[in-house]
Chains A and B, each alone.
Chain A
Amino acid sequence: MVNIPSSINDPIPPAEVEDVELYHPHSWWTTYVFSQDAKVIAIQYSLTAIAIGLVALVLSWLMRLQLGFPGVFTFIDADRYYQFITMHGMIMVIYLLTALFLGGFGNYLIPLMLGARDMVFPYANMLSYWIYLLAVLVLVAGFFAPGGPTGAGWTLYPPQAVLSGTPGGQDWGIILMLSSLILFIIGFTMGGLNYVVTVLQGRARGMTLMRMPLTIWGIFTATVMALLAFPALFVASVMMLFDRVLGTSFFMPAIAEMGAQLQYGGGSPILFQHLFWFFGHPEVYIVALPAFGIVSDLISVHARKNIFGYRMMVWAIVVIGALSFVVWAHHMYVSGMNPNFGFFFATTTLIIAVPTAIKVYNWVLTLWRGDIHLTIPMLFALGFIVTFVNGGLTGLFLGNVVVDVPLSDTMFVVAHFHMVMGVAPIMVIFGAIYHWYPKITGRMLDETMGRVHFWVTFLGAYLIFFPMHYLGLLGAPRRYHEIGESVVNPPSAHDLNVFITVMALIVGAAQILFLFNAAWSLRRGKDAGGNPWRATTLEWQTPTTPPPHGNFGKELPVVYRWAYDYSVPGAPEDFIPQNEPDPEHRSREHAT
């Protein structure tokens, strides 16, 4: 072992870890299919997640067609409608957002941004992807199974999830869904342990925790949370599977279904809800924190300015992560749990607003006196700020227990969570793809197509979900195949639903342009060079682009400064890479 000098200005000896020949792939199969290279695994994760995400997109079209034009598309009957909303929700939350942020961006960026050659457990990392793929296939199998996929809603609340009144409840649907979730969690745990250990053990010399880019802080904290939260879903899934297949009664009380007494008794449906939301609320932040981290870096790079209040940003991420484990029952204010819980959970929930607001302030204060380049990633970052602030603020309605009572289970909730954990993180995902595509492929995505894609997606999504809140305020319940005649469905509400459906079709179609751009630019895109955005972080300093196996060639980089040395006064360029020595100690980075 080499001792690391105590003073930050002392010369640091090069890392002793050399490129290890042993792990280099030697055949086409081990290079592109059963690869142990985190970058290949990242691309596998991402492509699979995007592919299944497109299924969810089509499902959203179908459900919007039913809501906008009830009765016109007769093949969307009640059974199918509930199957569509269930699969849409589960795919988006778990199989797209979680997988893409952690399996996709996590795998690609953790080793590269930290100056590591790869994840610390490459084999487990590879297994993680293949088990994820298996989980996706089992999930999709639901569409082809007798009775179709489950239509229990993505929350899968028992008892209805396993009874005959719900599509897939007494067929294969619910069994396949629960099996798929169990597989997903097994696969995720393998990847997740990898991400955590790599962040803790695999960093380049000089890369202290408080020099890590916020992207890594976001992904790291989200992964720790996921490792602690997913087991609750795992347990809940196993127990429900037992209730359904073996006839146990973990979540099943005595039930008289359609006049017939069932063989269940003594279980608690609310227990499932506690387990589900003990996972489910951290899950919101498992998606949000990587988005927070990535967008911080996008804003900083493209505004050519250090992220404002880095230390506060790190602590805000950690505090949000910790608090999110004690707010879960705000999803259950009207669940029938002891109403006195409301005082506690409303308080913890609204406390989270403070660190979250600090993050928003720091993003916009990073723009202040910046040198804002309106690149596509920056546009998406701006779109994120607008939609996240909007969705975050409506969270203050739903978190405040008594305000939640009239709004819960209405379209207000649907609008809120789509804005805050659908649209906002997806804005970041697109921004991140436009930002890192040049590193992954060596070519830029087309700018004109990118601008069209951004404006249609951002404005369209806002026009879908902003007005939708008001349907909920009016009282329109969610998860209605058809509201029909009702005080909460006046003709004007129907017109609004038509408008929302049309916008949803347009926004969905705009994604075809994005896919075309991604495919077209792969060969025809402008040559990117190694560091097209003139960014400081290590992934842009690799010897070749795309980075080779082992990432950094013969010698690993040594880190001398934080990730945000943009526009440092007196420096010749408006950015200084993290691996550039700082002999005059110009970097005004905080003491670490």
Chain B
Amino acid sequence: MAVVVILALVAVASVLFHLLSPWWWTPIASNWQYIDNTIIITFWITGFVFVAVVLFVAYCVLRFRHRPGTRADYEPENRKLEFWLATVTTIGVVAMLAPGLFVWDRFVTVPDDATEVEVVGQQWLWSYRLPGANGKLGTSETRDVTAENPLGVNKNDPAGLDDIIIQGGELHLPIGKPVKMLLRSIDVLHDFYVPEFRAKMDMVPGMVTYFWITPTRTGTFEVLCAELCGVGHPQMRGTVIVDNEADYQTWLEQQQTFTQMMASGETPTAN
């Protein structure tokens, strides 16, 4: 009996925990509400299956536990039942996969009007580069990284001279505008992770990865690194501030361009 009660309790308590848990996702700040919705669908389907299976097991133990003189049934197969169970399962899987792939299609399709922002990861610091007046980011190369040019921007590419460099500071983004985050690392793997944006992606040295979001509310958000990058991994924090357009422009004007940075001869400090 104890077994039956405990098994049923596991099912019921798990559901109650889910409903009453104070640990739930952070309030969303991007357009990826779809992702949250898909998670909700998945919770419903999987939660139902979990409770059904565990309660069924509990019932079996209650009803069919050993009593002297009883014998088990002898039923090697039941084709019909197996067929129906497989069919219902397939429907459930499709119900989760279809919306998932639909949302993924949106996730990988960057809108044409998205502005580009580059995030550069290094042990253990976030830096950013925004296109300057020409609206284009210049090329860059890890081989060009020096103390004076910490992001390895190509000095010979005119498109890069007016790029705005934010070394280890805060990133601001304007609200309501799609932005393609170009992700680059100059040493090891990192992962640009803002919980409220839902989207995240690894940054891999030697290549440029990306994701896109549209910030949907103003505020200050924490950047964490989500890919183990050495002992300083937990300390690799940053800040993203989503501004309204006016505040964003004010901030943007205060930032230095690549040319200005090189001219000032200032050596930005890592760490």
Contact = CB atoms under 8 A, between A and B. Distances in A.
Interface stretch (B45-53, B167-175, B247-255): B45-53
A567 B74 contact: yes
Interface string A334-376: 1110011011001100110110011011101101111111100
Contacts of B14: 390, 466
Nearest to B198: A406
Nearest to B224: A477
Contact of B107 (A160, A257, A339): A339
Interface string B81-107: 110011001100100110011011101
Interface string B188-205: 110101011011111111
Interface in B210-269: 221-222, 224-234, 237
Interface stretch (B56-64, B111-119, B126-134, B157-165): B56-64
Interface residues of A, number: 116
B209 to A, nearest CB: 4
B201 A334 contact: yes
Contacts of B233: 479-481
A209 to B, nearest CB: 17
Contacts of B71: 304, 371, 567, 574
Interface string B116-159: 00000011000000000000000001110111001010000000
A353 B89 contact: yes
Given A78-B234, A258-B270, A409-B227, A369 B104 contact: no
A81 B255 CA distance: 39
A370 B38 contact: no
B198 to A, nearest CB: 4
A82 B231 contact: yes
Contact of B25 (A347, A358, A405, A474): A474
B107 A346 contact: no
A217 interface: no
B42 A400 contact: yes
Contacts of B146: 259
A163 B73 CA distance: 62
A269 interface: yes
Contact of B189 (A157, A306, A589): A157
A382 B3 contact: yes
Nearest to A480: B234
Chain B, interface residues (CB within 8 Å), range: 35 or more
B76 to A, nearest CB: 5
Nearest to B105: A343
Contacts of A255: 142, 186-188, 205
Interface in A453-499: 455, 459, 462, 466-467, 470-471, 473-475, 477, 479-484, 486-488, 492-493, 496
User: Most B CB atoms within 10 A — which of A269, A385, A496?
Assistant: A269
A408 B189 CA distance: 15
Given A368-B64, A397-B42, A401-B104, A357 B89 contact: yes
Given A269-B189, A309-B77, A336-B204, A372 B198 contact: no
For A342, A351, A564, which residue has the most chain B Cβ atoms within 10 angstroms?
Answer: A342
Contact of A367 (B64, B143, B195): B64
A149 to B, nearest CB: 14
A162 B241 CA distance: 35
Contacts of B97: 346-347, 350, 400
Interface in A254-290: 254-259, 261, 265, 267-270
Nearest to B43: A397
B166 interface: no
Contacts of A401: 100-101, 104
B5 interface: no
Given A259-B150, A357-B89, A403-B35, A306 B76 contact: yes
A588 B74 contact: yes
7 contacts: A269-B206, A334-B191, A390-B50, A405-B107, A410-B226, A568-B74, A590-B76
Given A157-B227, A402-B38, 10 more contacts: A79-B231, A255-B188, A334-B200, A347-B97, A367-B61, A371-B70, A396-B45, A402-B101, A403-B38, A467-B17
Please provide the 3 A-B residue pairs with the shortest distance between their CB atoms, ordered closest to farther.
A253-B206, A165-B230, A475-B195
Interface of B: 3, 6-7, 10, 14, 17, 21-26, 32, 34-35, 38-39, 42, 45-46, 49-50, 53-54, 56-57, 60-61, 64-66, 70-78, 81-82, 85-86, 89-90, 93, 96-97, 100-101, 103-105, 107-108, 122-123, 141-143, 145-147, 150, 152, 183, 186-189, 191, 193, 195-196, 198-207, 209, 221-222, 224-234, 237, 270
Interface of A: 78-79, 82, 151-153, 157, 159-160, 163, 165-167, 169, 253-259, 261, 265, 267-270, 303-306, 308-312, 334-336, 339-340, 342-343, 346-347, 350-351, 353-354, 357-358, 360-362, 364-365, 367-374, 379, 382, 385-386, 389-390, 393-394, 396-397, 400-403, 405-410, 455, 459, 462, 466-467, 470-471, 473-475, 477, 479-484, 486-488, 492-493, 496, 564, 566-569, 574, 588-590
